[in-house]
Amino acid sequence: MSRSRVPLSSILAVLAAATALSACSGGGGGGDDGGPIDPGNPSCADGVESYDSTFAGIQTKIFERRGCTEDACHGSAKSGGLDLTPASAYASIYGVRSTFSSLARIEAGDEERSFLWLKLAAATRPGRYEVAGSPMPSGLPALSEEELELLRLWIYAGAPETGVVAGSEELLGACLPEPEPIEIEPLEPPPAGAGFQLTMPEWDLKAETEFEGCMATYYDVTDQVPAEFRDPSGTMFRFGATEVRQDPQSHHVFLYYPLGNFTAAGVDVYAPEFGEWTCRGGTSIGASCDPKAPDACTGGGICASELRKGLACVGYGPRSAGNTVLIGGAGQPVSRSDYLPGVFAQLPMKGVVYWNSHAFNLTKTDGVMHVKQNYEFTRDQRFTVTGLADFSAIFRPNAPPYTRETYCNDNVLPRGARLFNVQTHTHKRGKRTWVTTADGTMIYENFSFSDPVQGDFNPPLAFDSPDPAERTLRYCGTYENGLTTDGAPDPSAVTRLSRVSVTAAGQIGGTCRPVACTAGRVGAACNGANDDAACDSSPGAGDGECDACPITGGESTENEMFNMFGLYFIEPAVAAADAAAGVATAAQLDAALDEGGRSLATRPILPSSTGCAMAQSGTSQAMHGVVLATDGLAGSAH
């Protein structure tokens, strides 16, 4: 499994090459999980080391103190062409392809496409990463979990050369400057004729705030799509890979696509519901613009509709535009999706996109949000992709305060499905998720809510049984609502009305009813926000607080979700067999190929949705997940 959708077989082939990394010594320690972490520098008292950036700390505490800069290693010898001395290290690793690998030594935002990190992780976590040859460091102690996590967190945040990655100060045990918002290096667009790039209009993210909103842009890439990458109607482009890169302050970005784009008239960009279209970024910021005009904004600006606060673009745009589907986005700074050979999706060459951006700025400095989304064309166009997006138990987790609960939900795949990717999505109280097939085989397991594992299968998993029970995936998640590692109540981690009412104000999950104490008699039962007295450590003490709630479903970082996503295609031979037996299936519509072996499908073929994305129509949000087990302090499941 990997966190990028690069097929596992490809990664293993890369790692089978001779390594460009030589030995560096290691140590012991413990790690931490997560994306953005609340800043909180340790005391800068005498004797505490200090660095001017996270990378400076990595350079000293890992590269230098672990022997990587010794002359015979990656010092003057530059073993494998890699120079890790202070003056050259960053330029030698960031975005630089390894001498014996197709992977970069460090890929911004994605540690599992970073050759340096993979080689080190193979030693720290033996058995988890398959590496041909010797994991690094060879013949010496592995890096500690704490050191490996420091590298991962730095990569996750875009691997900046300067600045402070929130959370790195604790892992370094050092004093660092106050963090500021990090601007990730922009994603390069595909070469001309090989794909194209969409850019989200910039928006301001104020210090110490969280915001989610929507705005629209118009695109027309007709002149960028060669004939061999168009569908038979000539109106859609075909692609087999996507990539997203966004600033690490982002909780998610999703590209919602109004169904009106699939009509002859398209979406009316001049509808009053969009408000005024103005330039964002570039040299004409704030100027009025026509979204359909070429080069509507000068100096790299983007013509955008009004940015409006809202959850998942629900209710956004004119009613005439219709409901929406998802065509892109991600819940982490970098996400790449590569379909299997022959698998493709297709979308109109022009239309309107709704950008749903959700970000939080934990620093004391204002920032600006940036997102790039690439679509890469494919010549092999035999199988139409189907995105698996199960929202049917999205808001099911409701563990009482100071308890742990496990939930499961089932999803039946169609006959002939060839599953080549699966993943799950939770927020921070989701501690473990997994997916099993009908015979109980576990095909996926994840322990990180912020940087989830991507389960990739090549060859894909086949589901051909006529019995739906044999084609059922069961996905499960364990959630903790305010427990320490030893199972004691933790008021700092429990769902609290005082936090939910701020982060989710006016949204789904924007309130909750407290039923347990967070101060005084911590863990004791109480009855609502006005029942602090019930929590007093003794009658009349005045030290009680009734603020702990059951887990609440919703979009904010204080709410929870429980979703499964994936990608599959239908095996044409199975579709043909069903057709011969008189069983009609949607897959039969896409099975026909032209003389060159290209699909004759002319309907929209949508990519998968991931992360916090929410369907706006035709998707049940029923809370029918199954509670498997409950334990903790506040009683049993209900």
Please write the tens of the pLDDT for every residue from 77-101: 787 888 999 999 999 999 999 887 8
Residues 459 and 317 in one domain: no
Q: What is the residue-averaged pLDDT of the chain?
A: 86
Domain shared by 14 and 106, yes or no: yes
The residue among 548, 638, 632, 601 whose CA lies nearest residue 231 is 601
Higher pLDDT, 633 or 47: 47
Q: 403-415 burial string, b = 16+ CB within 10 Å, else e? A: bbbbbbbbbebbb
Determine the pLDDT at residue 607: 82
pTM given for the model: 0.83
State whether residue 446 is helix, strand or coil. strand
Give the residue from 548, 570, 591 where a domain finishes.
548
Does residue 20 surpass a pLDDT of 60?
no
Query: Which residue type occupies 482?
Result: G
Does residue 588 have a pLDDT over 80? no
Kindly tell me if the per-residue pLDDT of 589 is higher than 90.
no
- Classify residue 109: in a domain, yes or no: yes
Instruction: Tell whether 21 and 154 lie within a shared domain.
Output: yes
Quick one: which of 622, 200, 552 has its CA closest to 399? 552
Q: Which amino acid is at 160?
A: P
Residue range 133-186, pLDDT digits in tens = 677 777 678 899 999 999 999 999 999 999 999 899 999 999 999 999 999 999
What pLDDT score does 632 carry? 38
Q: 291 lies in a domain?
A: yes
Report pLDDT for 340.
Answer: 96
Which tens digit of pLDDT belongs to each residue from 49-74?
Answer: 999 999 999 999 999 988 888 887 88
**Structure-block tokens of residue 418:** 């060839």
The total of structural domains in the chain comes to 4
Q: Are 337 and 472 part of one and the same domain?
A: no
Decide if 188 is inside a domain: no
- Say whether both 257 and 368 belong to one domain: yes
Q: How confident is the model at residue 514 (pLDDT cuts 50, 70, 90)?
A: very high
Confidence of residue 581 (pLDDT cuts 50, 70, 90): confident
Q: Is residue 539 part of a domain?
A: yes
pLDDT at position 162: 96
Position 165 in a domain: yes
Q: Which of 381, 399, 422 is the last residue of a domain?
A: 381
Q: Which residues contact 458 (CB under 8 A, 6 or more apart)?
A: 7, 8, 9, 10, 340, 420
Model confidence band, residue 555 (pLDDT cutoffs 50, 70, 90): confident
Considering the domain architecture, whether residues 361 and 410 belong to the same structural domain is answered as: no
Given the structure tokens 């915001």, which residue do they identify?
Answer: 211
Per-residue pLDDT tens digits for 405-459: 999 999 999 999 999 999 999 999 999 999 999 999 999 999 988 888 889 999 9
- In angstroms, the CA 39 to CA 170 distance is 9
Give pLDDT, residue 73.
81
Statement to judge: residues 52 and 172 lie in one domain: yes
Would the pLDDT of 39 be above 80? no
Q: What is the CA radius of gyration of the chain?
A: 25
The answer on pLDDT for 27 being more than 50 is: no
pLDDT value at residue 479: 98
State the DSSP string of 357-402. EEEEE-SSS-EEE-EEEEEEE-S---EE-EEEEE-TTTT---PPTT
| CA gap 254, 116 in Å, rounded | 30
- Each residue of 544-564: b (16+ CB within 10 Å) or e? bbbbbbbbbbbbbbbbbbbbb
- Pick the residue with more confidence: 524 or 591? 524
Tokens of 293: 């005009």
> Across residues 14-43, what is the average pLDDT?
36
The answer to whether the beta carbons of residues 150 and 58 sit under 8 Å apart is yes
Is 625 part of a structural domain of the chain? yes
* Within a domain: 597: yes
> What pLDDT is attached to residue 12?
28
Reported confidence tier of residue 484, pLDDT bands at 50, 70, 90: very high
Same domain, 414 and 538: no
Q: Are 250 and 358 in contact (CB under 8 A)?
A: yes
- Mean pLDDT calculated for residue range 295-301: 90
Query: Mean per-residue pLDDT for 254-258?
Result: 95
Q: Answer whether residue 284 shows pLDDT above 50.
A: yes
User: Any idea what the CATH number is for the domain that residue 347 is in?
Assistant: 2.60.120
What is d(CA 138, CA 26) in angstroms, rounded to the nearest whole number?
10
Residue in 37, 29, 66, 63 with CA at minimum distance from that of residue 169: 37
| Any domain includes 489 | no
Domain range for 524 is 497-548
Residue 509: C-alpha distances to residues 250, 498, 505 (Å): 20, 13, 8
Specify the pLDDT at position 287. 96
Same domain, 205 and 61: no
On the question of pLDDT at 131 being above 80, the answer is no
For residue 23, the model assigns a pLDDT of: 34
Same domain, 582 and 624: yes
What size, in residues, is the chain? 638
Which tokens sit at 632?
């903790």
Taking only the tens place, the pLDDT of each residue in 331-373 is: 889 999 999 999 999 999 999 999 999 999 999 999 999 999 9
Whether residues 367 and 422 fall in one domain = no
Cα angle value 600/608/271 (rounded, 5°)? 85
Average pLDDT, stretch 461-484? 97
**pLDDT surpasses 80 at 623:** no
Q: How far apart are CA 569 and CA 458, in angstroms?
A: 13
pLDDT at position 18 is 29
* Confidence category of residue 631, pLDDT binned at 50, 70, 90: very low
pLDDT 10s digits, 176-190:
999 999 999 999 999
Copy the structure tokens of residue 364: 């004391």
Check whether 263 has a pLDDT greater than 90: yes
Domain final residue, candidates 347, 381, 415: 381
Cβ neighbours of residue 381 closer than 8 Å, sequence gap 6 or more: 238, 342, 344, 598, 599
Is 532 found in the same domain as 596?
no
Residue 25 has pLDDT above 90, yes or no: no
